[in-house]
Amino acid sequence: MVMADRKFAPQDLDVLFAQACSEVPDLPPGLLARVLADADAELAARSRAAPAPRPVLRLGIMAELLALLGGWRAVSGLATATVAGVWIGFSGLSGLPDAATALFGMAATETLASVNLLPGDDVFALAMGLEAVE
């Protein structure tokens, strides 16, 4: 019969717990002395082998700035966006009307300002109680 096969009533368990608490086994001779000697030896070893603190390494200003911005990948993206912005700023947008003409198929006389992007804005303005702007 296995221990799991036994059926105990709650009263039987109380009796078993009380019996386990009342019976304190005797320690083998010298066990407590050996445990205390091992503890004293471990305390002595830990107290004399304290490692020296490492000096704190300080990064340069550029390394700290690079880490603050997110590393090399983020800085390379920022540099690319900066170069593209400077290039577009100096070269201007003189080619944009030609591209818009090719894309939207407008005549050469039309400009982007004359394109009505919201043809139903008059209905929206009337619904909001505003006057229609032409």
Could you tell me which residues come within 8 angstroms of residue 75 by beta carbon, excluding any fewer than 6 positions away? 66, 69
Task: Kindly report, residue by residue over 82-116, the tens digit of the pLDDT.
Answer: 999 888 888 776 665 666 566 666 555 555 556 66
Integer Cα distance of 79 and 71 in angstroms: 12
Q: pTM higher than 0.75, yes or no?
A: no
Task: Kindly report, residue by residue over 111-132, the tens digit of the pLDDT.
Answer: 555 666 666 666 666 666 655 4
Q: Which of 120, 17, 61 is nearest to 128 (CA)?
A: 120
Integer Cα distance of 95 and 33 in angstroms: 93
